[in-house]
Structure 1
Amino acid sequence: MYLRALRLCTSPHQWARSGLIAITLICIAFVAAPRAAEAQSYRFDNVAISGNQRIEAGTILTYAGIARGQTVTAGELNDAYQRILGSGLFEEVSINPRGNTLEISVTEYPTISKIAFEGNSKIKNEDLSGLIESAPRQVFNPAKAERDAAVIVGAYSESGRSAARVNPKVIRRNDNRVDLVFEIFEGKKIEVQRVSFVGNRAFSDRRLRRVVGSKQAGLFRALVNRDTFVEDRIEFDKQVLADFYSARGYVDFRVTGVNAELARERDTYFITFNIQEGQQFKFGRITTVSELNNVNAAEYQAALNVRPGEIYSPAKVENSIARMERLGVRQGVDFLRVEPRITRNDRNLTLDVEFALVRGPRIFVERIDIEGNTTTLDRVIRRQFDTVEGDPFNPREIRESAERIRALDFFETAEVEAREGSRPDQVVVDVDVEEKSTGSLSFGASYSTSAGIGFAIGFSERNFLGRGQKLSAQIAASADRANYSISFVEPSFLSRDVAFGLDFALVETTDDFALYDTTIGTFRPSLTFPVSENGRLRLQYIAGYKDMRNYTGSSGILAQEVARGGDFESGAGYNYTYDTRRTGLNPNAGVLLSFGQDFYGLGGDREYIQTSARAIAQTRVLNEEVTLRATLEAGALNYLGSDDSRAVDRYSGQIIRGFEPNGIGPTETNGGTVEQLGGNYFAALKLDAEFPLGLPEEYGITGGAFLDIGSIWDVDTAGATGTLASTGFKPRAAAGVSVIWQSPFGPLRFNFSQDLEKQPGDKTQSFDVSIASTF
């Protein structure tokens, strides 16, 4: 039929013009139509392999998957070709059937003689070598080299160099070897010029910029890496924004999109987060119901620490569930699960929460497998779990354990997942971590108006010998002070939730604010453990040495105290701390309370009791733009028997701003010279406000205002040769403004003060620079 149609097309009959066109089209269709492929099969008695130098013929035949005497089709021959080529060992492959012989010809990829990097300066060669798959003495694979180039580009992109390019280049050598060279163009860092938000009403751009990890380019952009554009950081920013709003009751919040626009000059990015805040919800009715016969719902309702009318927060719900489940453990209720059932009330913007006490599935923890920890011991990770092998499986406890492992800050990544164990009623908890460096060696310089210029060197290891222990040592010196300290902490003493601490400090001063030199040494072992959800108790022993010498003043009291020489001290004490910041349930406010006493007289030269107390409360107002903080501190020295205090023991530091260190308190005047004596008691109230100044955030400069009121009083008057003053309680007061700078060297606070109330002999200070404290 095919041949007949062809003859018809080429016959010389005379047709009308239109008929010729139609016949021509029919002919073309017949000629172009594919013929049915005839299926072919082959049978080979021999296989001839050529071109291979390093790869054994048997290996190639195994990839081909064709046995001698086997009947194969053309499609199966093509599959064999694909398998050999897909092995990644050969640059070229051909398969030719010749009679009863199958000829396989290959050209092997060369081996890599060496790998080099050219053009890189920001990332070291050894770091790049650890990123790539290709390695010397391996077979060169172009696809793998391209993947390596992409990985290197990704590493530069993570450091903010999005314009980086990498070209893998091959240099041929003899003996079928090559040098693999990665030619790198690093490019410049692309900075983030502006981070802005669209759709935010409750919180300003300034407040939200403090939440996200992406930062705008600042004055010290060479020292701060977060002002460069990193694409992966955007996803992190979206999550922290969601967490920020969720913790403040905005349950419908979502990020609808993020625009990262590259400037026309291609040297900077403009990042815009498009968000929908939604409405802020509060807790409505909070109830507890029990679906278990032996569980009283009222007892569990009483364990809640959340109340109607509070701003809704998922963290508060999780905390309530944890408290209920812990109560269930204490009561011996196995497999207790608390299900929060939430009812939304859009009319009054509340969420009713019903905590249902139900029986969870009978699933046990078969084992906990830990992988990836090359330095950290298994037990350091395992003790973050409240669950052990054989315990009932609780998904919430596993999630909390995962967060505790991440909070250790020993690992780059820490993934915790549960999978089915050897039986359906058992699970295996897999922990996969990646170690990171936990040690540091620091060198620094400092300046303060009281101590002048100083230098420091320090060593710190947060995971000492992989045991989770903390070890630090520091030497700091200035013109009038030398400080040596060593600290060690075992966070899980005797495998319990007890921290064992060991501290040693030696301080020597030749202070210009005092007319004598001091030497103070302290040795302090301690045990710290929780006593409640927010409370911790520290028990400690103190051994110390204090000495005053080289007195050059005229005070009879100080001269008598210096003449006593050095004193050895020995005592024991406690300190209780209540800190609501531990739970993090209120993101805008927190309270810290601390009270402690040390009892000296367990040996040593003197007997006395030292009492200290501190209370700090902080809150953020005006949509969290302004921070208000109040601090109340007090201390007392009570000597027993005939013992008296010395200036080296008494309170004399800068308890309030506006006055010099050792600038207030009891004084003794001889011949017109006024000398500060320090006091056995002190009390200080500090009120602070921090607020934005309207400057660009990248400057890192905010403002502050403060009002300080305090006093130091009471001193033993034995030995006095001059006129005493301010021995009783007489408050001083100072107010001022501050400029707070988040510098690359740490937060600095510049205080400009004006005394409002002072006493004769006080030493005022109108300006000082200090490290800005955080709460």
Structure 2
Amino acid sequence: MKKILFALLVLGFLVEPAVAQDTTSDSTKSINIENPMNVTPQQLEVLGVEVEGLTTSREEFVIGTSGLQKGTQITVPGEDISNAITSLYRTGLFSNIEIVELEREPGGIYLKIIVQEQPRLAEYEIYGVKKSERKDLREKITLLKGYAVTESSLEQAKNTIRRYYKGEGHWNISVDVKKTRTDTVRNRVTVAFNIDAGERLEIKDISFEGNEKFSDRKLRKALGSIKEDRWWKFFSKKLFKEDEFKTAKDNLRAFYGEHGFLDFRVISDSVYTFPYTQRRLFVLKTPARGIKVKLKVEEGPQYKVRNISWEGNTVYTDEQLTQTLGFEKGEVFNQKKFQKRLEINQKGPDVTSLYQDIGYLFFRVQENIEVVAEDSVDLHMNIYEDEIAYVEKVSFTGNTKTHDDIIRRTLRTVPGDKYSRQNIIRSIRELGQLGYFRQQSIEPNLSPDRENNTVDISYSLDESQSTDNFEFSGGFGGQGIGLILSAKLNFNNFSMQRALNGEGWNPIPSGDGQKLSLGVQVTGQGYQSYSVGFQEPWLAGHPLSLGVNMSYDRIRYRGSNQQNEMFSSSVSLGRRLKWPDDYFTHQTVLSYQLYDVANASFLAEGTSSIMSIKQILERNSTDNKISPTKGSKLRLSGELAPPLPGFSQYYKLKSSYQNHTTLVGKLVLTNTVEYGYLGYLGQGQRSDFQRFKLGGTQLQQRQSFLDDNIDLRGFPGGRSGSITPYVNGEAVGGRLYSKYSLELRYPAVTEQQAQVYPYAFFDAGNTHLDFDEFKPFELKRAAGFGTRIFLPILGLVDLSYGYRLDGIQVPGNPVEAGQWQFLFNIGAPF
């Protein structure tokens, strides 16, 4: 009988093989978990717990994680021991765990937890790839020093590596992992990842199945993010990337949706490698491997609009809303156009903006597209107009230097006014036009209160960019000009009041939005120019701008005592207009020039005084001062120097129009047209100055202060070769000019520290003595490329390199066609 009881006791405490190994001795027994012999479970108190096998982990941690603390009640056999082992495994710190019985007393039990710790990471290395790739991988791999190295963590790291290279277009990626124990006492290992990144295979073929309405070629173009490689596309690799492939399929669905195929779907897709013969230009035919992409599609029917209906609208009629929606009965349904015209359309009208621009902030529209017949849809919109919302509070943050009043007078959102989405957009534009804040960082935050029909608006501003700059430049102006040096200080957020009160000199008094500029320019031939200007954009608390400018120019000719001088001063007064719209401004400029000419090469000698008044009407809807992406600028000016006793007379008319259009992505096209005419009144003393000359930049032109100089890239300008009529071998200047320009630019860098805008251009223009000699198609043309660089401390620098398509017959020194001209300029052309 004793032998039978002993056998049952031993069988009653057999260990579950899937959880723990049998390491019992005469003094220890493994705990039975599944109770295969149906031994009666006992409720026992844990009287003590020992832990064996630790090298780095703490005993208290193991016992606490297991849940087998002293005094705990457990059931033996039962699930408590199984749960304890599972909890310890889940920490990932142990590769083997065993719980055995040390001793048992009536109602109690002593246990031992035997563990085998996972090794800890000392370091990991990456081999077989480039240094830059190793850096990228270290940012993605989540292995940390001192943490347990488990098979799961290593497999996760390998998957991270594979995903990285797959995302870069690699195929057949291999990752080998090797663990080396470097510290047996502390149980530390070093892990080495040996990577074979495989090949970067290009997409050689994209084909479609099931497409009937559109050709494969058109669908390949619609994919957008993935493209086929062709022999002439040798500047970039057409790699396959999983995320780009997903985007491409979304683009394909959107393309079909724009053409009315609402039921379109991609049934299946396959991507695989295949062998082909490489046939690149200047390369022998060689065997290679590429990627094939196959898409099986189901187009479905093309839907057309049958009926358009509205419900719940009281502010606008059905006809007005349908006109804004932009669909007519029988038209092919365009899903993209439908969403844009219904919700938010940045480039045109939409239904939501119609309501939000007149105060209906809480406006909602719920569309219902119902398929009728086989190829038609009915569009039904439920309108929820709600109540008009009013602006309760307007606040702003981030202005550390600019005074609050300057920002408040710029904002178009005013407490008490109806909410208007358009006013918020205009406020962002006006704040950006100040030039004090980073326009990309201006964010309006709305806090609507539906219960009271109000909204609080807060603008987040970033004034980290410098508003003041020091312009310094140097260059060579060509033959007869020599070295050009120019320096200018621009304080674009100046405060005259704080300067006079002796406040805010840290180092420059600022914050009132005034502009102060001080400039000097000298050349190696004796030219000197000094200028000072001040502008108050908000006079006496009203939207009136006051400007005062003075300058002195002198050029002394080498080898003689002759010199030409000009003193100029002007006062301007400008104001905003609300008609025809509030993009218009009007400016009146009263100016005085005193000329003292002693060089016989000019048309006139002696002194000449001119008193003129100029009227300028301008409409500017551009969105950025440095590099606009949309909007236009129209400028009309008329200047009159009346025939007063002792003064020279003339009148001048000028017009210019500039338009900016975003083409694709961030690529912007700018086109410019300019005209100018100089005439005279009666038989009074005519001014031989202020005639038009084209070419060069302001650096060359400033010393030609007797003329009205117009920039034109690709031509030298100044005295070394302006585009101007010549009479008896002398450059007399034109009374009529025309200029045309096309520019294609891309914002390559738009960081806070620097902004870079590379561009390509085509410029053309000419000057004429009068209308009798005007030939509109006889133009001097140039094409080329350039870059504008904006640095907060230096301002905007423009570098251009133009190729002349036409020459200029400058007597004694012709400017020939077929040559390149480098030009350096400072300041924005917009």
Instruction: Select which of 49, 52, 71 maps to 1:50.
Output: 52
Matched, 1:235 2:238: no
Q: Is 1:108 aligned to 2:151, yes or no?
A: no
Q: Offset at 1:81? A: 0.9
Q: Identify the residue that residue 683 of structure 1 maps to in structure 2.
A: 738
Query: For residues 546 and 282 of structure 1, what CA distance do their matches in structure 2 show?
Result: 71
Amino acid at match of 2:342: V
Contact 1:619 1:628 in 2 (8 A): yes
Q: 1:19-418, aligned counterparts within 5 Å? A: 43=44, 44-67=46-69, 68=71, 70-73=73-76, 74-98=78-102, 99=104, 100-123=109-132, 127-162=136-171, 163=173, 165=175, 167=177, 169-185=179-195, 187=197, 190-192=200-202, 194=204, 196=206, 198=208, 199=211, 201=214, 204=217, 208=221, 211-212=224-225, 216=229, 227-243=238-254, 246=257, 259-264=270-275, 269-270=290-291, 272=293, 274=295, 289-291=310-312, 295-297=315-317, 301=321, 304=324, 306=326, 308=328, 312=334, 313-314=337-338, 315-319=340-344, 323-329=350-356, 333=360, 335-342=362-369, 353-358=379-384
Report percent identity of matched pairs.
15
Inter-partner Cα distance in structure 2 for 1:525 and 1:193: 59
SS of structure 1 residue aligned to 2:657:
strand
> Is residue 725–residue 734 contact of structure 2 (8 Å, CA) maintained in 1?
yes
- 2:619 equivalent in structure 1: 576
Separation in structure 2 between the aligned mates of residue 664 and residue 682 of structure 1, nearest angstrom: 10
| 1: CA distance, partners of 2:359 / 2:306 | 28
Letter of the 2:195 counterpart: F
- Offset, 1:750: 9.0
In 2, the alpha carbon distance for the partners of 1:184 and 1:505 equals 63
Q: Spell out, residue by residue over 1:75-106, the C-alpha distance to the aligned partner (whole angstroms, 9 max, x if none).
A: 43222112111112223321123443222111
- Scaled by the length of structure 2, the TM-score of the pair is 0.52
CA distance in 2, matches of 1:277, 1:748: 51
Q: Which residue of 1 aligns with 2:565?
A: 564
Residues 370 and 379 of structure 2 are in contact (CA less than 8 Å); yes or no, is this contact kept in structure 1? yes
| Secondary structure of residue in 2 paired with 1:93 | strand
- Superposed CA deviations along residues 449-496 of structure 1, whole A, max 9, x for unmatched, are xxxxxxxxxxxxx9764x8x9999998766547788999999xxxxxx
Conserved in 2, the CA contact under 8 Å of 1:193 and 1:217? no
Q: Could you tell me which amino acid in structure 2 is paired with residue 358 of structure 1?
A: Y
SS state at 1:102 partner: strand
Measured after TM superposition, the shift of residue 339 of structure 1 is 3.0
| TM-score, length-scaled by structure 1 | 0.55
Q: Secondary structure at the match of 1:304?
A: helix
Note the C-alpha offset of 1:356.
3.5
Runs of 5+ unmatched residues, structure 1: 1-33, 364-385, 399-406, 427-461, 491-499, 529-536, 582-589, 621-626, 690-703, 716-725
Assess, with a 3 A threshold, how the Cα gap between structure 1 residues 180 and 214 changes in structure 2: closer, same or farther: farther
In the alignment, is the contact (CA less than 8 A) between 2:101 and 2:110 conserved in 1? yes
Cα deviation 1:6-41 (Å, max 9, x = unaligned): xxxxxxxxxxxxxxxxxxxxxxxxxxxx98766755
The answer (yes or no) to whether the contact 2:475–2:485 under 8 Å persists in 1 is yes
| Conserved 8 A contact 2:178-2:193 | yes
How many residue pairs align between the two structures? 613
Q: 1:75 to 1:210 in 2, by over 3 A?
A: closer
CA-to-aligned-CA distance 1:371-412 (integer Å, 9 cap, x gap): xxxxxxxxxxxxxxx999xxx9999x99xxxxxxxx98789x
3-state SS in 2 of match to 1:212 = coil
Residue pair 1:289, 1:357 contacting (<8 A) in 2 also: yes
- Within 2, Cα distance between the matches of 1:749 and 1:737? 10
Q: Whole-Å Cα distance in 2 between the matches of residues 189 and 472 of structure 1?
A: 50
- The letter of the residue matching 1:357 is I
Within 2, Cα distance between the matches of 1:525 and 1:197? 64
Letter in 1 for 2:657: R
Deviation string, structure 1 residues 407-463 (Cα, Å, up to 9, x no partner): 98789xx9x9x9xx9x9999xxxxxxxxxxxxxxxxxxxxxxxxxxxxxxxxxxx97
3-state SS of paired residue (1:63): helix
TM-aligned CA distance change 1:705 to 1:113, over 3 Å: closer
Q: Spell out, residue by residue over 1:162-187, the C-alpha distance to the aligned partner (whole angstroms, 9 max, x if none).
A: 53636363432143142534434364
Q: For residue 456 of structure 1, what is the aligned residue in structure 2?
A: none
Aligned-partner Cα distance in 1 for 2:252–2:559: 60
Change (3 A) 1:109 1:675: farther
Provide the secondary structure at the position in 1 that maps to 2:738: strand
The equivalent position to 2:767 in structure 1, one of 712, 716, 719, is 712
Tell me how far apart the structure 1 counterparts of residues 621 and 62 of structure 2 sit (CA, whole Å): 72
* RMSD between superposed Cα atoms in Å: 7.4
Deviation string for 1:329-348 (max 9, x for gaps)? 4655563322344466888x
Alpha carbons 1:657, 1:734 under 8 Å: kept: no
Flag the 1:425–1:71 CA change in 2: closer, same or farther, 3 A: farther
Q: Report how far residue 631 of structure 1 moved.
A: 5.6
Alpha-carbon displacement from aligned partner over 1:186-228 (angstroms, at most 9, x marks no partner): 647615354746458379559828943668589897xx77744
Residues 660-704 of structure 1, C-alpha deviation per residue, up to 9 Å, x if partnerless?
Answer: 9955333343xxxx4545546532457999xxxxxxxxxxxxxx9
Give the Cα–Cα distance (whole angstroms) in 1 for the partners of residues 722 and 180 of structure 2: 74
1:660 touches 1:763 (CA, 8 Å); kept in 2?
no
Query: Residues 287 and 301 of structure 1 are in contact (CA less than 8 Å); yes or no, is this contact kept in structure 2?
Result: no
Q: 1:524 to 1:394 in 2, by over 3 A?
A: closer
In structure 2, what is the Cα distance between the partners aligned to 1:170 and 1:563?
85
Distance 2:553 2:289 in 1: 60
Pair 1:245–1:768, CA change in 2 (3 A): farther
Letter matched to residue 563 of structure 1 = N
Change (3 A) 1:104 1:188: closer
Check whether the contact 2:274–2:292 (CA below 8 A) recurs between aligned residues: no
Unaligned runs of 5+ in 2: 1-34, 277-286, 390-411, 425-437, 454-460, 478-483, 494-512, 574-586, 588-616, 625-629, 642-647, 692-703, 745-759, 788-798, 823-829
Match of 1:594 in 2: 634
Instruction: Indicate conservation of the 8 Å contact 1:612/1:636, yes or no.
Output: no
- Distance apart, 1:517 and its partner CA: 6.8
Residue identity matched to 1:339: Q
Structure 2 counterparts to residues 739-758 of structure 1, below 5 A? 753=805
Q: 1:165 to 1:522 in 2, by over 3 A?
A: farther
In the TM superposition, 1:505-516 aligns within 5 A as: none
* Equivalent position amino acid for 2:312 in 1: E
Q: Which amino acid aligns with 1:130?
A: E
State whether residues 639 and 645 of structure 1, in contact with CA within 8 Å, keep that contact through their aligned partners in structure 2: no
Is the contact made by 1:577 and 1:593 (CA closer than 8 Å) also made in structure 2? yes
- The Cα shift of 1:563 comes to 0.8
Residues 323-364 of structure 1: per-residue CA shift (max 9 Å, x gap): 5444444655563322344466888x886645432257999x
- Pairing 1:449-464 to 2, within 5 Å after superposition: none
| 1:731 alignment partner, one of 776, 796, 819 | 776
**Which residue of 2 is the match for residue 28 of structure 1?**
none
Equivalent AA in structure 2 for residue 337 of structure 1: R
- In structure 2, the CA distance between the partners of 1:236 and 1:35, relative to structure 1 (3 Å rule), is same
CA distance in 1 between counterparts of 2:56 and 2:378 reads 73
The DSSP-based 3-state class of the residue aligned with 1:180 is strand
